[in-house]
Structure 1
Amino acid sequence: MKQRLFGTDGLRGQGNIFPMTPEIALRLGLAAGQYFRNGSGRHRVVIGKDTRLSGYVFETALTSGLCANGMDVFLVGPMPTPAISFLTRNMRADLGVVISASHNPFMDNGIKFFNHDGFKLADEVEDEISKLVLAEDPQWKYPEPERIGRAHRIEDARGRYIVYLKNSFSPRLTLDGVKIVLDCANGAAYGVAPYVFEELGAKVIKVGMKPDGLNINEKCGSLYPEVISNIVQDENADIGIALDGDADRLIVCDENGRILDGDQIMALCAQELMEEGRLPKNMLVATVMSNMALELFMKSRGGSLLRTKVGDRYVVEAMRREGAVLGGEQSGHLIFMEHSTTGDGLLAALQLLRIMREKERPLSELAGLLEPFPQVLSNVHVERKVPFEQAPEVQAAVSKVEKALAGKGRVLLRYSGTEAVCRVMVEGPDADVVECYTADIVEACEKYLR
């Protein structure tokens, strides 16, 4: 067994294959219960999931472990990841748990935690829990029989989250007359998202609303934004909104079908906050994956872009440290710290719609702020994650490309924290040249990292 279970966004893998097995989930429930149970009072944990078939397995195993180690469990069923963050805070729970593999296909699943403040756990806390889970003979400190936890179902969890989201939208505004194409990726938001927009007055054309346990993220959602783009144009809609399987990320398209990624959405929102004097230090926080154009955009307006490691948890950590209120990832994780403690696709969509309504302008006119540099991202499947410094041939390929770019582009090489892949990203002024540079580095990775 590897000694660290958690990646950049919790535990993740294919169902019934280590580490995503019922035994590990049971141990994880026992370990988390033991770690977070402190004092003599009752302890509460909120568990939500997306729509994957294996969610039933892990929900039951986690509940058993948590109850056995003295935690009262509140089950909310399929709900977006940010909803669990909100409910954990709102219910004054000790812990929140999400069973989801986000944008991955149905055969994968994952488990991630939020602390009582709604923030993802720090690495050191995850490491302590990992030690308990992976111990050959864990000494579980079971509570007395009368202190065993109970499990409950919360029937009105969706309504609570819907009200919370609507409260993040200006009470002076409505969405009357706005036509939205909404793709829920057959995922966790299908029972929540349409109601949020409809109750604010919008007409919603729904896509990806029939989960069957096997079709989450299948040719729909934020990984397939061309779906909403085509429908927006066919229906003459005002905006297309695409979520991923657990609804913590957002990709949109304007009324002409032009697709906007997280960087472009952040540019629009950052400018609005700067104009309103509500962006502390005029600082935006993003990861190393964000396009160079976003950095230049912020500098041109007297602001700055602070980069972090990949993962919205690292963006949030930097935002808390710097007092920033806006951050996110190119992939569509967007954090509005005034409203939430984690990426929330629905909340981000509402902030974008607020700007459109206040400005009384279509998204196409508002979003032309950022023209991204050509950027190519390729994945190389690897059997093991060899440190790059131990692969001189790969380093040589990277150095050659960096020298050719001469400071007018970027190369980024990193291993995924959730998948067995090496990610190769090259950015530069010429799309064809960037494609060639990427192919050269990918070839070196395929030869020397497998």
Structure 2
Amino acid sequence: MVVSVASNSFLNLSSLPKGKLFGTDGIRGKAGNLLTAPLALAVGYWAGQMYKEQFGGGAIAIGQDSRNSSDMLGMSLTAGLTAAGLEVWNLGLCPTPCVAYITANTDAIGGIMISASHNPPEDNGIKFFTSNGTKLGKVYTSAIEAGIRGEKPPVALDVNWGQHYPRQELVKQYSSALQASLPSDRPLQGLKIVLDLAWGACVKVAPPLFKALGAEVICLHDVPDGDRINVDCGSTHLNLLQQAVCETQAQMGFAFDGDADRVLAVDNQGRIVDGDYILYFWGKLLKSKSQLPNDLLVATVMANLGFERAWESIGGRLIRTAVGDQHVQAQMWETGAMLGGEQSGHVICHHYNCSGDGVQTALHLACLTRQLGMSLGEMRDQSFETYPQLLKNVRVEDVERRLAWENCDPLQGAIEQAEQAMGDRGRILVRASGTEPVIRVMVEAAELELAHHWSHYLVETVQEHLVKKG
């Protein structure tokens, strides 16, 4: 028995705004504006159809961060998926890498995370994973979007509805796997560590793990709070963490973003240890153990020149990709690299997981200080000097102008002028963000004055030629 085809016509939203619904990391936007219950229902239904067509029937694992809109989106997605005949496992509050781990290590055919990562509380997002824990590719997301926009034939709803099950115990399975990846039972014994949990997804995962491994833990922003997630805290606002580490005389601190797929560290002096340093430290250890194929690291175009040249000076190789952990991941699969990541704190180690994992990265970095018998500050001092790097965001609300920045002749001329002036003393990266309505301007130079001069010049050019007046 089937339900009339006409009865699922509400699952097509042909009136959606122009432009691609899926960005570089799933669907992201303001909850209640772009991300509504009807949209999430349609996304769930057409994602369910795609998963069935490509991977057969089965279960989809859904996790979420602490945003107030996450429950609404989760229930709507669940309704769509079960309408498509799929089973849904509700993981509840958990980090994004937990969803990736569950999909890769159970018989789930896919996973969905509801989160806008480091974005403010009013935003939210929906990102998809395949059964091996990697992000869903463009071919599949395009098929989902075509269904949502009414560009695919309606599909008859049958009465084999899917079922919904709470599966919070799977989050404990993920935590146990993180603990099992470390070298001994209590490798953090005697360390005092500050954790900034950003009111987000890892508040129930990270503190118990660090404590179980022997650390004395001081927590900041350690309850799930949808009104305050990422607000002046976490990996994008390190001031409070730096202050806490210094005031408590802790050995180190870690700041996660809202969904805990990234982490930044602070050493015992309150200095920032970003993804470049983490890749260098972890890469050097794996290289010494002959566990880094071809001595290769994968990083993005944002990686600091100081890091790249230091890594090459000890015999390492570095490949750069476009910004985005999915680009790093793709290059790692292609080259066989086991370690890669971003300056922003997304670090992927294929020895232990298939996705960037902030909690896992923090645990391994803390253990590394014990293995080397050095403080994080000493490790930083003995690594490399970074080139001054300035990153500025210019808000460009007009989507067409923002995405067509490469066709702006005055901006291209300004970039060429700056590159010629700096030569090998610096580099420039201008790009449209895939997650926010901004043009990002990065200038890196051997001298801070050079970086200031050319970043100011390029920002003014963007504002003059791409930002609408009035």
SS in 2 for 1:149: coil
Describe the shift of the 1:226–1:314 C-alpha distance in structure 2 as closer, same or farther (beyond 3 A).
Answer: same
Give the alignment of 1:350-365 within 5 angstroms.
Answer: 350-365=363-378
Aligned to 1:2: 18
SS in 2 for 1:380: strand
Structure 2 segments unaligned to the other structure (5+ residues) = 1-16
Distance 2:187 2:287 in 1: 24
Distance 2:155 2:201 in 1: 33
Aligned to 1:372: 386
Describe the shift of the 1:283–1:10 C-alpha distance in structure 2 as closer, same or farther (beyond 3 A).
Answer: same
Residues 92 and 168 of structure 2 are in contact (CA less than 8 Å); yes or no, is this contact kept in structure 1? no
Aligned to 1:281: 294
* Alignment of 1:261 onto 2:277: no
SS in 1 for 2:87: strand
* Alignment of 1:409 onto 2:409: no
Give the alignment of 1:11-160 within 5 angstroms.
Answer: 11-18=27-34, 20-38=35-53, 42-135=57-150, 139-142=154-157, 144-145=158-159, 147-160=160-173
Aligned to 2:311: 298
My pick for the range that moved more, 5-14 or 327-336, is 5-14
The letter of the residue matching 2:132 is D
Aligned to 2:228: 215
Shift of 1:63: 0.3
Distance 2:419 2:64 in 1: 42
SS in 2 for 1:139: coil
* Alignment of 1:387 onto 2:400: no
SS in 2 for 1:116: coil
Structure 1 segments unaligned to the other structure (5+ residues) = none
The letter of the residue matching 2:138 is D
Residues 186 and 214 of structure 2 are in contact (CA less than 8 Å); yes or no, is this contact kept in structure 1? no
List structure 1 segments (4+ residues) > 4 angstroms apart after TM superposition.
38-42
Aligned to 2:5: none
Output the TM-score relative to the length of structure 1: 0.96
User: Alignment partner for residue 318 of structure 1, among 331, 334, 337?
Assistant: 331
Shift of 1:390: 2.0
Describe the shift of the 1:300–1:54 C-alpha distance in structure 2 as closer, same or farther (beyond 3 A).
Answer: same
Counting aligned pairs with the same residue, the percent is 40
SS in 1 for 2:139: helix
Describe the shift of the 1:154–1:440 C-alpha distance in structure 2 as closer, same or farther (beyond 3 A).
Answer: same
Distance 1:134 1:4 in 2: 11
Residues 3 and 130 of structure 1 are in contact (CA less than 8 Å); yes or no, is this contact kept in structure 2? no
Shift of 1:68: 0.2
Distance 2:406 2:391 in 1: 21
Shift of 1:41: 7.0
Shift of 1:238: 1.0
Residues 185 and 221 of structure 1 are in contact (CA less than 8 Å); yes or no, is this contact kept in structure 2? yes
SS in 2 for 1:37: helix
Residues 120 and 230 of structure 2 are in contact (CA less than 8 Å); yes or no, is this contact kept in structure 1? yes
The letter of the residue matching 1:207 is L
Distance 1:242 1:160 in 2: 23
Distance 1:41 1:327 in 2: 32
Shift of 1:391: 0.8
Shift of 1:351: 1.4
Describe the shift of the 1:386–1:87 C-alpha distance in structure 2 as closer, same or farther (beyond 3 A).
Answer: closer
Distance 2:337 2:26 in 1: 24
Aligned to 1:270: 283
Residues 183 and 207 of structure 1 are in contact (CA less than 8 Å); yes or no, is this contact kept in structure 2? yes
Residues 249 and 268 of structure 2 are in contact (CA less than 8 Å); yes or no, is this contact kept in structure 1? yes
SS in 1 for 2:425: coil
* Residue-by-residue CA offset, 1:178-225 (whole Å, 9 max, x unaligned): 111001100000011101111111110011112331100011111112
Count, aligned residues: 447
* Residue-by-residue CA offset, 1:387-444 (whole Å, 9 max, x unaligned): 2342111111111111110121111110001111110000001112211110100111
Shift of 1:136: 5.8
Residues 222 and 242 of structure 1 are in contact (CA less than 8 Å); yes or no, is this contact kept in structure 2? yes
Distance 1:39 1:407 in 2: 48
Shift of 1:111: 0.3
Distance 2:366 2:108 in 1: 32
RMSD: 1.5
Shift of 1:158: 2.9
The letter of the residue matching 1:55 is S
Shift of 1:236: 1.0
Residues 386 and 449 of structure 1 are in contact (CA less than 8 Å); yes or no, is this contact kept in structure 2? no
Distance 2:149 2:54 in 1: 25
SS in 2 for 1:174: coil
Residues 201 and 259 of structure 2 are in contact (CA less than 8 Å); yes or no, is this contact kept in structure 1? yes
Distance 1:318 1:15 in 2: 33
Distance 2:334 2:78 in 1: 34
Residues 374 and 431 of structure 1 are in contact (CA less than 8 Å); yes or no, is this contact kept in structure 2? yes
The letter of the residue matching 1:178 is L
Shift of 1:141: 4.1
SS in 2 for 1:165: helix
Distance 2:340 2:91 in 1: 28
SS in 1 for 2:424: coil
My pick for the range that moved more, 114-123 or 290-299, is 290-299
